[in-house]
Amino acid sequence: MLVLSMVNLPTLATEQTPLRLAVAANFAGPMLTLAEQFEQSSGINISISVGSTGKFYAQIRQGAPFDVLLAADSLTVENLIDQGLADPKTRLTYAIGQLVLWSPEPGLFGNQAQAIETLKAGDFTRIAIANPAVAPYGAAAQAVLRHLGLADAWLKKRVQGQSIAQTHQFVASGNAELGFVALSQLQATGQTMAGSVWQPPQNWYPPIRQDAVLLSASKNPAIGKAFLIFLASAQAQEIIKTFGYQREPLQ
Protein backbone atom coordinates (compact mmCIF):
# COMPACT_ATOMS: atom_id res chain seq x y z
CA MET A 1 0.00 0.00 0.00
CA LEU A 2 2.88 2.23 0.82
CA VAL A 3 4.23 1.57 -2.63
CA LEU A 4 0.98 2.31 -4.37
CA SER A 5 0.74 5.70 -2.77
CA MET A 6 4.11 6.76 -4.08
CA VAL A 7 3.45 6.58 -7.79
CA ASN A 8 0.46 6.74 -10.01
CA LEU A 9 -0.13 3.27 -11.31
CA PRO A 10 -1.97 2.70 -14.56
CA THR A 11 -5.47 1.34 -14.30
CA LEU A 12 -5.94 -2.33 -13.47
CA ALA A 13 -6.79 -3.18 -17.07
CA THR A 14 -3.19 -2.71 -18.23
CA GLU A 15 -1.77 -4.57 -15.25
CA GLN A 16 -2.49 -7.94 -16.80
CA THR A 17 0.97 -8.16 -18.36
CA PRO A 18 3.43 -9.11 -15.65
CA LEU A 19 6.42 -7.00 -14.76
CA ARG A 20 9.43 -8.71 -16.29
CA LEU A 21 12.56 -8.71 -14.19
CA ALA A 22 16.00 -9.85 -15.32
CA VAL A 23 17.70 -10.90 -12.09
CA ALA A 24 21.36 -11.67 -11.48
CA ALA A 25 21.74 -15.32 -10.50
CA ASN A 26 23.28 -14.51 -7.12
CA PHE A 27 20.13 -12.61 -6.15
CA ALA A 28 17.61 -15.32 -7.10
CA GLY A 29 16.98 -16.34 -3.47
CA PRO A 30 16.07 -12.95 -1.99
CA MET A 31 14.20 -12.06 -5.18
CA LEU A 32 11.61 -14.77 -4.59
CA THR A 33 10.81 -13.39 -1.14
CA LEU A 34 10.78 -9.81 -2.43
CA ALA A 35 8.56 -10.68 -5.38
CA GLU A 36 6.06 -12.34 -3.08
CA GLN A 37 5.86 -9.23 -0.90
CA PHE A 38 5.58 -6.88 -3.85
CA GLU A 39 2.88 -8.96 -5.49
CA GLN A 40 0.92 -9.09 -2.26
CA SER A 41 1.08 -5.37 -1.58
CA SER A 42 0.57 -4.17 -5.16
CA GLY A 43 -1.44 -6.90 -6.87
CA ILE A 44 0.99 -6.78 -9.79
CA ASN A 45 2.33 -10.03 -11.19
CA ILE A 46 6.07 -10.42 -11.51
CA SER A 47 7.86 -12.69 -13.93
CA ILE A 48 11.46 -13.43 -12.94
CA SER A 49 14.21 -14.48 -15.33
CA VAL A 50 17.37 -15.57 -13.54
CA GLY A 51 20.68 -15.50 -15.37
CA SER A 52 24.11 -14.02 -15.67
CA THR A 53 24.40 -10.27 -15.98
CA GLY A 54 26.66 -10.53 -19.04
CA LYS A 55 24.05 -12.58 -20.89
CA PHE A 56 21.28 -10.19 -19.93
CA TYR A 57 23.41 -7.34 -21.27
CA ALA A 58 23.74 -9.10 -24.62
CA GLN A 59 20.02 -9.88 -24.68
CA ILE A 60 18.90 -6.37 -23.71
CA ARG A 61 21.05 -4.92 -26.49
CA GLN A 62 19.15 -7.20 -28.86
CA GLY A 63 15.77 -6.03 -27.61
CA ALA A 64 14.90 -8.53 -24.88
CA PRO A 65 11.51 -7.67 -23.37
CA PHE A 66 12.57 -6.96 -19.78
CA ASP A 67 11.30 -4.05 -17.71
CA VAL A 68 13.88 -3.94 -14.96
CA LEU A 69 17.40 -5.31 -14.68
CA LEU A 70 18.80 -6.29 -11.30
CA ALA A 71 22.46 -6.63 -12.22
CA ALA A 72 25.28 -8.30 -10.30
CA ASP A 73 27.48 -5.25 -10.78
CA SER A 74 27.26 -1.54 -11.51
CA LEU A 75 29.33 -1.54 -14.72
CA THR A 76 26.67 -3.27 -16.81
CA VAL A 77 24.04 -0.76 -15.74
CA GLU A 78 26.45 2.05 -16.57
CA ASN A 79 27.02 0.62 -20.05
CA LEU A 80 23.30 0.28 -20.68
CA ILE A 81 22.74 3.89 -19.61
CA ASP A 82 25.57 5.07 -21.88
CA GLN A 83 23.88 3.39 -24.81
CA GLY A 84 20.51 4.87 -23.99
CA LEU A 85 19.08 1.45 -23.14
CA ALA A 86 18.29 2.28 -19.51
CA ASP A 87 16.87 5.25 -17.63
CA PRO A 88 19.66 6.92 -15.58
CA LYS A 89 17.20 8.57 -13.19
CA THR A 90 15.98 5.21 -11.94
CA ARG A 91 19.39 3.70 -11.21
CA LEU A 92 19.94 2.51 -7.64
CA THR A 93 22.25 0.25 -5.68
CA TYR A 94 19.90 -2.35 -4.23
CA ALA A 95 22.49 -4.56 -2.55
CA ILE A 96 26.17 -4.62 -1.72
CA GLY A 97 27.79 -8.01 -1.85
CA GLN A 98 30.13 -9.21 0.88
CA LEU A 99 33.14 -11.34 0.13
CA VAL A 100 34.15 -14.23 2.38
CA LEU A 101 36.92 -16.78 2.38
CA TRP A 102 35.27 -20.11 3.00
CA SER A 103 36.28 -23.69 3.55
CA PRO A 104 33.85 -26.46 4.48
CA GLU A 105 36.55 -27.73 6.86
CA PRO A 106 35.67 -26.31 10.30
CA GLY A 107 39.08 -25.94 11.93
CA LEU A 108 41.04 -24.43 9.05
CA PHE A 109 40.87 -20.85 10.27
CA GLY A 110 38.94 -19.26 13.11
CA ASN A 111 39.94 -15.61 12.93
CA GLN A 112 41.50 -13.06 10.60
CA ALA A 113 45.09 -13.81 11.63
CA GLN A 114 44.65 -17.53 10.98
CA ALA A 115 42.90 -16.93 7.68
CA ILE A 116 45.72 -14.69 6.46
CA GLU A 117 48.24 -17.24 7.73
CA THR A 118 46.43 -19.97 5.73
CA LEU A 119 46.52 -17.83 2.59
CA LYS A 120 50.18 -16.94 3.00
CA ALA A 121 51.27 -20.49 3.79
CA GLY A 122 49.62 -21.75 0.61
CA ASP A 123 49.28 -25.18 2.18
CA PHE A 124 46.45 -26.30 -0.07
CA THR A 125 46.10 -27.93 -3.48
CA ARG A 126 43.39 -25.70 -4.93
CA ILE A 127 41.88 -22.35 -4.06
CA ALA A 128 38.82 -21.17 -5.97
CA ILE A 129 38.11 -17.60 -6.94
CA ALA A 130 35.64 -16.19 -9.42
CA ASN A 131 37.07 -15.06 -12.75
CA PRO A 132 38.02 -11.40 -12.10
CA ALA A 133 37.30 -10.55 -15.75
CA VAL A 134 33.63 -11.45 -15.51
CA ALA A 135 32.60 -11.58 -11.85
CA PRO A 136 32.76 -8.65 -9.41
CA TYR A 137 33.42 -11.10 -6.57
CA GLY A 138 36.47 -12.27 -8.50
CA ALA A 139 37.76 -8.71 -8.81
CA ALA A 140 37.13 -8.26 -5.08
CA ALA A 141 39.01 -11.46 -4.22
CA GLN A 142 41.89 -10.32 -6.41
CA ALA A 143 41.95 -6.99 -4.54
CA VAL A 144 42.08 -8.75 -1.16
CA LEU A 145 44.96 -10.94 -2.33
CA ARG A 146 46.76 -7.85 -3.63
CA HIS A 147 46.21 -6.16 -0.27
CA LEU A 148 47.93 -9.11 1.38
CA GLY A 149 50.80 -9.00 -1.11
CA LEU A 150 49.61 -12.26 -2.66
CA ALA A 151 48.51 -10.91 -6.06
CA ASP A 152 50.73 -13.35 -7.93
CA ALA A 153 51.06 -16.06 -5.30
CA TRP A 154 50.43 -19.71 -6.20
CA LEU A 155 48.76 -18.91 -9.52
CA LYS A 156 48.93 -22.59 -10.45
CA LYS A 157 46.73 -23.48 -7.48
CA ARG A 158 44.01 -21.03 -8.41
CA VAL A 159 40.95 -22.30 -10.17
CA GLN A 160 38.43 -19.88 -11.57
CA GLY A 161 34.68 -20.18 -11.60
CA GLN A 162 32.93 -18.33 -14.39
CA SER A 163 30.42 -17.11 -11.87
CA ILE A 164 30.36 -16.86 -8.12
CA ALA A 165 27.88 -19.76 -8.16
CA GLN A 166 30.38 -21.99 -9.93
CA THR A 167 33.14 -20.88 -7.56
CA HIS A 168 30.97 -21.90 -4.63
CA GLN A 169 30.36 -25.26 -6.32
CA PHE A 170 34.10 -25.92 -6.62
CA VAL A 171 34.52 -25.45 -2.86
CA ALA A 172 31.27 -27.12 -1.78
CA SER A 173 32.10 -30.26 -3.79
CA GLY A 174 35.54 -30.44 -2.17
CA ASN A 175 37.41 -30.07 -5.47
CA ALA A 176 39.00 -26.94 -4.03
CA GLU A 177 39.76 -26.84 -0.31
CA LEU A 178 38.88 -23.19 0.07
CA GLY A 179 37.74 -20.26 -1.97
CA PHE A 180 36.46 -16.70 -2.05
CA VAL A 181 32.69 -16.81 -2.27
CA ALA A 182 29.78 -14.54 -1.44
CA LEU A 183 28.47 -14.33 2.10
CA SER A 184 24.98 -14.48 0.56
CA GLN A 185 25.76 -18.00 -0.69
CA LEU A 186 26.59 -19.18 2.81
CA GLN A 187 23.44 -17.61 4.18
CA ALA A 188 21.15 -18.75 1.40
CA THR A 189 19.24 -21.02 3.74
CA GLY A 190 18.92 -18.43 6.50
CA GLN A 191 21.75 -19.82 8.61
CA THR A 192 25.45 -19.63 7.93
CA MET A 193 26.88 -22.82 6.49
CA ALA A 194 29.35 -24.91 8.47
CA GLY A 195 33.08 -24.64 8.04
CA SER A 196 35.69 -21.90 8.32
CA VAL A 197 34.54 -18.44 7.30
CA TRP A 198 36.53 -15.23 7.23
CA GLN A 199 35.13 -11.93 6.10
CA PRO A 200 37.91 -9.61 4.86
CA PRO A 201 37.56 -5.94 5.94
CA GLN A 202 35.40 -4.13 3.39
CA ASN A 203 37.95 -1.41 2.74
CA TRP A 204 40.31 -4.03 1.31
CA TYR A 205 38.27 -4.36 -1.87
CA PRO A 206 36.08 -2.11 -4.02
CA PRO A 207 32.43 -2.38 -2.95
CA ILE A 208 30.49 -5.03 -4.86
CA ARG A 209 27.60 -2.80 -5.84
CA GLN A 210 24.64 -4.46 -7.44
CA ASP A 211 22.65 -1.89 -9.36
CA ALA A 212 19.11 -2.03 -10.66
CA VAL A 213 17.65 0.12 -13.39
CA LEU A 214 14.52 0.61 -15.46
CA LEU A 215 15.13 -0.36 -19.08
CA SER A 216 14.20 2.05 -21.85
CA ALA A 217 12.36 -0.68 -23.75
CA SER A 218 9.98 -1.27 -20.82
CA LYS A 219 6.31 -1.20 -21.70
CA ASN A 220 5.43 -0.79 -18.02
CA PRO A 221 7.69 2.07 -16.92
CA ALA A 222 5.35 3.22 -14.15
CA ILE A 223 5.15 -0.23 -12.60
CA GLY A 224 8.86 -0.71 -13.10
CA LYS A 225 9.54 2.48 -11.19
CA ALA A 226 7.17 1.39 -8.43
CA PHE A 227 9.11 -1.83 -8.10
CA LEU A 228 12.43 0.04 -7.87
CA ILE A 229 11.00 2.27 -5.14
CA PHE A 230 9.90 -0.85 -3.29
CA LEU A 231 13.41 -2.30 -3.72
CA ALA A 232 14.90 0.73 -1.98
CA SER A 233 12.34 0.69 0.84
CA ALA A 234 13.37 -0.16 4.40
CA GLN A 235 11.10 -3.19 4.27
CA ALA A 236 12.83 -4.64 1.20
CA GLN A 237 16.30 -3.72 2.40
CA GLU A 238 15.65 -5.56 5.67
CA ILE A 239 14.90 -8.73 3.70
CA ILE A 240 17.95 -8.25 1.50
CA LYS A 241 20.15 -7.95 4.58
CA THR A 242 19.03 -11.29 5.99
CA PHE A 243 20.37 -12.93 2.82
CA GLY A 244 23.91 -11.76 3.50
CA TYR A 245 24.00 -8.48 1.58
CA GLN A 246 24.63 -5.03 2.92
CA ARG A 247 22.56 -2.03 2.15
CA GLU A 248 23.86 1.18 0.70
CA PRO A 249 25.12 3.42 3.52
CA LEU A 250 22.82 6.40 3.83
CA GLN A 251 24.26 9.53 2.29
18-26, 107-115, 153-161, 190-198 -> range binding other proteins (CB under 8 A): 153-161
Q: With binding defined as CB under 8 A, does residue 161 bind other proteins?
A: yes
User: 63-102: buried (b, 16+ CB within 10 Å) or exposed (e) per residue?
Assistant: ebebbbbbbbbbebbbbbbeeebbbeebbbbbbbbbbbbb
Q: Which of 76, 187, 196, 210 is in the footprint of other proteins by CB under 8 A?
A: 76
Rounded-to-integer distance, Cα 23 and Cα 126, Å: 31
> How many other C-beta atoms lie within 10 A of the C-beta of residue 33?
14
| Cα–Cα nearest to 136, from 205, 215, 57, 186 | 205
Q: Which of 113, 133, 151, 194 is in the footprint of other proteins by CB under 8 A?
A: 133
Q: With binding defined as CB under 8 A, does residue 151 bind other proteins?
A: no
Beta bridge partners of 210: 95
Q: With binding defined as CB under 8 A, does residue 175 bind other proteins?
A: yes
Q: Beta 178-182 vs 127-130: how paired, if at all?
A: parallel
Q: Which of 41, 49, 169, 237 is in the footprint of other proteins by CB under 8 A?
A: 169
Q: With binding defined as CB under 8 A, does residue 38 bind other proteins?
A: no
Q: With binding defined as CB under 8 A, does residue 159 bind other proteins?
A: yes
* Site for other proteins, rule CB under 8 A: 52, 54-55, 57-58, 76, 79, 125-126, 128, 131, 133-134, 156, 158-162, 166, 169-170, 173-176
